[in-house]
Every structure is written in structure tokens, then in C-alpha cells.
Amino acid sequence: EDQVTQSPEALRLQEGESSSLNCSYTVSGLRGLFWYRQDPGKGPEFLFTLYSAGEEKEKERLKATLTKKESFLHITAPKPEDSATYLCAVQARYGGATNKLIFGTGTLLAVQP
Amino acid sequence: EAEVAQSPRYKITEKSQAVAFWCDPISGHATLYWYRQILGQGPELLVQFQDESVVDDSQLPKDRFSAERLKGVDSTLKIQPAELGDSAMYLCASSLGPRDLRANVLTFGAGSRLTVL
């Protein structure tokens, strides 16, 4: 069964204190791994898609990496506005037209000034 | 920037009542998804449409939930009767059709928060 596990469940950082969020996955065949950011009461906002092991993508203070079993979201010198829930999701190589994403439970990040 | 529109943003209802949610995807997006997100959990797919056809409704509780996308554009998700356990955020998302290279990037709406009393 395809599954996504994120850790830690919650993380509190001081402004400027770098850290990493983990996403481990099992999937029959990976089509893509996604990172989304979700602010309270809002829908998820797309950040990155990674397609193959060794791939890395960056956006401002965020950098996502991918191995065959897990992905990391590195946050460098975070600011309070980076506070949000970060969701990881995988898309499997199913037959047919389905593109559904299987999500983890997320990591709630709080960055204190 | 194009957005996925959803309404209502908030809905409070009593159990056994009927509720309906509406979604208007990004123009040109052939694929539409309804997800349910319980507080503290990740979104879970309820139903996926390709144009007006359902391609995945394996997790949709069909005894009380129904979804339609009659003209292949906007969509309605209905719950009848609502139960206490249905309290959640209902998220609509859309993406380009499966033949597009970026087909797998889903854009989400702001969601509809349902509270069942």
C-alpha cells in the first residue's frame, strides 16, 4: 500500500535557526513527490515537484531533495512568515488517467522572532 | 493569477441535514478533484473527474456523498444526510489533462469548512 510518513509532527524554531523536515514514502512506482505549504484555514499551496532520486529544487529559503526512500525539505535561516504546515505527497504510476496525490499528515512549523 | 474558486467558505449544519459545496476550477483544467481534510491530517481524495467522467471514487462514501461535473467545468459535492464525523475541510483542486507534462501539479482552492452539530 502506498504510504507517506512525515516527521516531526511539529517543529518550533527560532528565527534564523536552520532545520530539515523529513518525508519517507513507500510507493509502487514513483511518478512524482510534491511539497505543499498550507496556512491555517487555507488550501495547500504548491512548492516543489521532484521526479527522481538525486534531484534538488530551491525556492528562497527552502530546498527540497529526494532519495529513493525519502525527501527532505531544508529551511535555511527561517523567518516568522515561514510558519505553516508543510505537506508532502506522492503520485504513483497507476494505470489509467488518475493523478491522485497521497498526502502525509504534515509538519507544523512555527518560527519565533 | 488563476485560482480555483470554492463556496461556501464556511458551513454549519445539523446532523441529518443536506449540504452542498461548489467548485469552479482553473479555466482549461480538464481534471478536477475533491479532497477531504480532517483537522490535523493530510488531505484524502474523495473523487476525481476527467472532464465530466469519474475516474476514481473509491474513497467516496456513496451512501451519503455524491459528486457531479455535468458539463466538464464546475462541480458540486453533496452530502445527505450529514453526520458528525463529516466535519472537515473540503478541498477542490484542478490540474491540466493527463497528456500535459505538468498534468500532475494540482492547484487547490481555499476550501469549504464544514461543521456538523
Has residue A99 got a pLDDT over 80? Answer: no
Cα separation, B89 vs B85, in Å, equals 12
**Contact (Cβ atoms closer than 8 angstroms) between residue A92 and residue A42:** no
Residues of B (40-99) whose Cβ lies below 8 Å from A: 40-45, 48, 50, 55-56, 91, 93, 95, 98
Please give the biggest Cα pair distance in chain A: 48
B contacts of A97 (beta carbons < 8 Å): 31, 50, 55, 98
Mean pLDDT of A80-105: 85
Residue B56: closest CA among A112, A96, A107, A72: A96
Lowest-pLDDT choice from A25-29, A93-97, B24-28, B91-95: A93-97
The per-residue pLDDT for B68 is 97
Residue by residue, DSSP assigns chain B as ----EEE-SEEEE-TT--EEEEEE--TT--EEEEEEE-TTS--EEEEEEETTEEEE-TTS-TTTEEEE-TTSS-EEEEESS--GGG-EEEEEEEE--TTSTTTT--EE---EEEEE-
Higher pLDDT among residues A30 and B9, named by residue: B9
The per-residue pLDDT for A97 is 56
Cα separation, A78 vs A84, in Å, equals 12
Closest-CA residue of A relative to B10 is A41
Confidence of residue B90 (pLDDT cuts 50, 70, 90): very high
A contacts of B42 (beta carbons < 8 Å): 4, 87, 89, 103-106
Has residue B97 got a pLDDT over 90? Answer: no
Best residue in B4, B37, B53, B115 to probe A by mutation, most A CBs within 10 Å?
B37
The per-residue pLDDT for B15 is 95
Cα separation, B29 vs B73, in Å, equals 8
Peptide bond between residue B81 and the one before it cis (omega within 30 degrees of 0): yes
Cα separation, B17 vs A36, in Å, equals 33
Cβ contact B104–A99 (<8 Å): yes
Residue B13: closest CA among B108, B83, B62, B91: B83
Residues 6+ apart with CB under 8 A from B106: A34, A46, A99, A101, B33, B93, B94, B95
Residue B86's φ and ψ, nearest 5 degrees, are: -85, -5
Residues of A (56-85) whose Cβ lies below 8 Å from B: none
What is the pLDDT of chain A when averaged over all its residues? Answer: 93
Among B33, B42, B106, beta carbon nearest to A106: B42
